[in-house]
Amino acid sequence: MSNKMWGGRFGEGPDRIMEEINASIGFDQRFFAQDIRGSKAHAAMLAEKGIISREDADKIVAGLDTVLAEIEGGHFEFRRELEDIHMNVESRLADLIGAAAGRLHTARSRNDQVATDFKLYIRDTIDHLDGQLRDFQLALVARAEEHADTIMPGFTHLQTAQPVTFGHHCLAYVEMAGRDRGRLADARKRLNECPLGSAALAGTSFAIDREMTAKALDFDAPTRNSLDSVSDRDFVLETLAAASIAATHLTRLAEEIVIWSTPGFDFIKLPDSFTTGSSIMPQKRNPDAAELVRAKAGRVIGALTSLLVVMKGLPLAYSKDMQEDKEAAFDALDALSLSLAAMTGMVKTLTVNEKAMRGAASRGFSTATDLADWLVRSLNLPFRQAHHVTGSLVAMAERKGCDLDGLSLDDMREVEPGITDEVYSVLGVDNSVASRTSYGGTAPGNVRDAASRWRDRLGKAGQ
């Protein structure tokens, strides 16, 4: 039999394969709250403009409330033959209130309806992710305050570079998460225009009030072009782009957690709640949560790539290709949300091995730059010459099997006669870290000040 929601154009029902490829109710049912909210706003506007009666509008709104309660209560039967969430809601509404339900779709199309639903959903998701990113930042700020003086090696190329503090390292990720929140906020601002009332692609001949529905749904304004309104998925692409960057940031910390928790580093220990054992090796303590966060970024980035390919070359306005905009986006944003929850949990509960961090910072000639800087300041050597002298001293220390502070003054004077015993004051990791007082540097005072500024900022409403 024909789908009664399609009207009289089709005399036969869809082939089973067509139904399988065409139906989206299996995934777009998560739009139910947004779909019902949009329909209630649309019905109220139609009544206000005299397009439908107030009595019918009241019936529609009451019926939609019943549908919402049924779905939230787990009593709603989603029907695959009705294709999507819009048709499922409208069909159930007709069961509840009769002919009045048929007036709801006046002056709109599934095209503007789904665009509105998706915008509402993405907006809600951005707000949720922003809250999670804030929680992640707060967890990092707390560790930064706790470890403002905890010395660890800073790395470039994963080779020991210069000493830093663990608190400073944590604050680097606070900065990244702050930019992630900014990108999501930008995406939210741009998406906050309402497509409802654009109808299929050309607008409608009914005297609707799009400003009214936009305001009712907390949009800043209605969209300005009906063709663009129903065919735009920039808001999903931009959100996925921001999500991809955020997920990539999480993978960097996840990778460090994996490395730091190995016996070779032993910088941190994860609790049982974020590790697993081995089926064969009883000694193993695997950082699976961090590894999975590292991997899930691929799903987020893949969703962005997938939607870019879907949208590439699509002529205006709506094409069924755009039904493929949802599953990957849902999966990606779910993956990011789960990753944020896991990373925040790990940051809060990991144990820091300060002794191991400090020991590693004291190895690998991490104060070589401090020595070069001292040669510039105290002996007035050009930096390039100081760099060369320091390199020679590092080579000497390697031959002798010691660090720079293990060289005697006579050893150093073989390379640069002007060196005095004052040089030893810059070769300790404590002195090195304490000297990095430039704005944004790793000095413990800087770290405490930066952590305090972030705590103040994050404590303000909407920050």
Query: CB 445: neighbour CB atoms within 10 A?
Result: 12
Q: Which of 75, 157, 279, 438 is catalytic?
A: 157
* C-alpha distances out from residue 415 to 70, 373, 375, 379, 391, Å: 83, 16, 12, 13, 10
Q: How far apart are CA 223 and CA 220, in angstroms?
A: 9
Helix, strand, coil fractions of the chain, as percent rounded to 5: 65, 5, 30
Q: Are 194 and 222 in contact (CB under 8 A)?
A: yes
Q: Which of 2, 53, 128, 278 is catalytic?
A: 278
Element containing residue 443 per DSSP (H, E): none
Query: CB 223: neighbour CB atoms within 10 A?
Result: 23
Q: How far apart are CA 149 and CA 145, in angstroms?
A: 9
* C-alpha distances out from residue 124 to 33, 114, 217, 283, 303, Å: 11, 15, 12, 44, 19
278 in catalytic set: yes
Give which of 445, 434, 432, 444 is closest to 403, Cα–Cα.
432
Query: CB 68: neighbour CB atoms within 10 A?
Result: 18
Beta pairing, strands 159-165 & 151-156: antiparallel
Contact partners, residue 395, CB within 8 Å, separation at least 6: none
SS3 label, residue 53: coil
157 in catalytic set: yes
Element containing residue 423 per DSSP (H, E): none
SS3 label, residue 153: strand
* C-alpha distances out from residue 366 to 264, 313, 359, 381, 435, Å: 18, 53, 11, 21, 14
Beta pairing, strands 151-156 & 351-352: unpaired
Question: Rounded to 5 degrees, what angle do the CA atoms 403, 408, 409 make?
Answer: 125
Catalytic residues: 157, 278
